[in-house]
Amino acid sequence: MCTAATSGGCGARGSTTSRAVSWRATARAPPSLAHGNGILTTASDLLFIGWPDGNLLCLDARDGRELWRWQTGAAVSSSPIAYEIDGEQYIAVYAGGTGIPYGNSAPRGDHLWAFKLGGTVSPAAAPPPPVVRRPVSGQPVDGAAVNNTVVLARVYANGQVGTVESTAVNAMAPTHLRVPAGTTVTFVNPADNVHVHGATQFFEGLFDIRLKPGESFQYTFAKPGEYFFNDTFSPRPTGKIEVTG
């Protein structure tokens, strides 16, 4: 087990070498792992990753099994590092908080933790967990009013789709589309856009598509819930499909 030195640690084990995919995380972790969570892997097949809820995890890189976790007290959005001093191995990570995609709900701090075998410092108290859903800009728009369509890289204002290609945070037309369960939503990259745009649905990972100007994509939302997505050209524009029961 890893314990804290001036704040914690993990030991080494025999390594294996493989270029094939050994395992895949099929269960969704409580926080999103797609927003700045750098991963450290070691020659001894240890995998370290920090979570926005403050936990630093050590996994078996060969099968994904959790070996150890440590509460840092603030959201971790940096990459853990490994180093050695006088023959002793250390793992370090900075826990300072994050804003994407949790806004002000992610716990903030200013904590630098260093770990080694045999440490005695205790973990921090667990902070309130981040809210994994955050508001998008713009008011909800009924799907029937826009033919259940989201126009990519365009701003929606006063009931109209903008005429200029954009990567602003609200460059989804509309940003918040409300539809009943079972609705097929169309995502369109206008023909007069210059760049390839798309929609990456995060949290649930339902789709990840890229569209050339003039192309479209359809997805049927079967279950009620909130489904967030970003533009694949620029991560700034964020949209939400609200599916009602």
Write the single-letter amino acid at 133: R
Instruction: Examine residue 135 and state whether it is found in any structural domain, yes or no.
Output: no
Tell me the pLDDT band of 192, cut-offs 50, 70 and 90: very high
Q: Return the bridge partners of 30, or none.
A: none
149 beta partners: 186
User: Does the reported pTM lie above 0.75?
Assistant: no
Full domain range(s) for residue 165: 141-244
Helix (H, G, I), strand (E, B) or coil at 143: helix
Residue ending a domain, choose from 76, 99, 130? 130
Establish if 136 belongs to a structural domain. no
Is residue 149 predicted with pLDDT exceeding 90?
A: yes
Last residue of a domain, which of 130, 152, 167? Answer: 130
For 90-146, what is each residue's pLDDT tens digit? 999 999 987 766 767 788 999 999 999 998 999 999 998 887 666 788 999 999 999
Are residues 161 and 212 part of one domain?
yes
Whether the CB-CB separation of 113 and 123 falls below 8 Å is answered with no
Same domain for 104 and 148, yes or no, is: no
Q: Report the alpha-carbon distance of residue 76 to residue 59 in Å, rounded.
A: 16
226, 240 in Cβ contact below 8 A? yes
Q: Dihedral angle at the C-alpha atoms of 123, 128, 130, 135, nearest 10 degrees?
A: -160
Instruction: Tell whether 111 and 155 lie within a shared domain.
Output: no
CA 10/CA 232 separation, integer angstroms: 37
- 101 & 45 share domain: yes
In whole angstroms, what is the distance from residue 41 CA to residue 64 CA?
Answer: 12
- Is 138:170 a contact under the CB 8 Å cutoff? yes
Q: Cis peptide leading into 174, omega within 30 of 0?
A: yes
Enumerate the β-bridge partners of residue 69.
57
- For residues 238 and 161, membership in a common domain is answered with yes
End-to-end CA distance of the chain: 46
Question: 197 and 91 in one domain?
Answer: no
The CATH number of whichever domain residue 159 belongs to comes to 2.60.40.420
Q: Are 118 and 172 in the same domain?
A: no
Tell me how far apart the alpha carbons of residues 193 and 189 are, in angstroms, rounded to a whole number: 7
In a domain, 124, yes or no: yes
Domain count, the chain: 2
Provide the pLDDT for residue 134. Answer: 64
Looking at the fold, whether 162 and 92 belong to one and the same domain comes out as: no
- pLDDT tens column, 47-67: 999 988 899 999 999 988 999
Query: What is the biggest distance separating any 2 CA atoms in the chain, rounded to whole angstroms?
Result: 67
Last residue of a domain, one of 78, 108, 130: 130
